[in-house]
Amino acid sequence: MERQGDFSEEEFRKACAELENPASDGKAWESLVESESCNIYQMLDEQSGFYNYKAFGDFKDCSPSLYAEVYMDLEYRKQWDAYVKELYEKEICGKMVIYWEVKYPFPVSNRDYVYIRDGRDINLNGRMVRVILAKSFSTPEIPEKCGVIRVSDYRQSLVIESNGKEGCKVSMFYHDNPGGTIPSWLVNWIAKNGVPNFLQDIQKACKNYPKKT
């Protein structure tokens, strides 16, 4: 279920501006992955010590509306995302709040997220785009679990638009401070493989979407 009002118009516009240029916004973005269908950039966040990511994908067989619907469908994500341990949505204080526990490989503890999200259609320089924002949300109604580390600093934004044909272009910003102690090999794996794998998995999920007409 999607609710309006959790994010301001300024936040939507800022997300669009942040993703308009892959790595030419005056910041030290480094190219991480380059391929025909996906380009990913990273930049060290000095406050957290972890990287921020920008990803740009071209999905030739997935319309913007289908991509947005699959991304927002939490029940379906439980089927195609192998890293989901638990995922649900509930209303708290008038907001639709999402709980998401992510599987991490042994011996690293699982992480969980409590966040809100919102989607809106925006006219961006004459192009109609779908913008989806998500950010951490704190509430005592979803307490931390023993043995699971709560991620309290999470932000993601997506801009989805037509590629001029039958598919769509997706721009994504991702910031995540996973907390705790994570070995360097796992951080490197997430950087090199996590985001590309997610983009590939959601592309397959779009093709197999049961509500697809």
Domain residue extents for the chain: 9-20+29-207
pLDDT tens, position by position, for the chain (213 residues)?
344 468 888 899 888 887 776 655 556 788 888 877 788 888 887 777 778 888 898 888 899 999 999 999 999 999 999 999 999 999 998 899 999 999 988 888 999 999 999 999 998 888 889 999 999 999 999 999 999 999 999 999 999 999 888 899 999 998 888 877 777 667 667 766 777 788 889 989 999 998 765
Class (C level, CATH) for 9-20+29-207? alpha beta
For 160, phi then psi, to 5°, come to -120, 130
The whole model's pTM is what?
0.88
pLDDT for residue 184: 65
Could you give the angle at which helices 64-72 and 195-207 cross, rounded to 10 degrees? 110
Question: What local confidence, expressed as pLDDT, does residue 22 receive?
Answer: 62
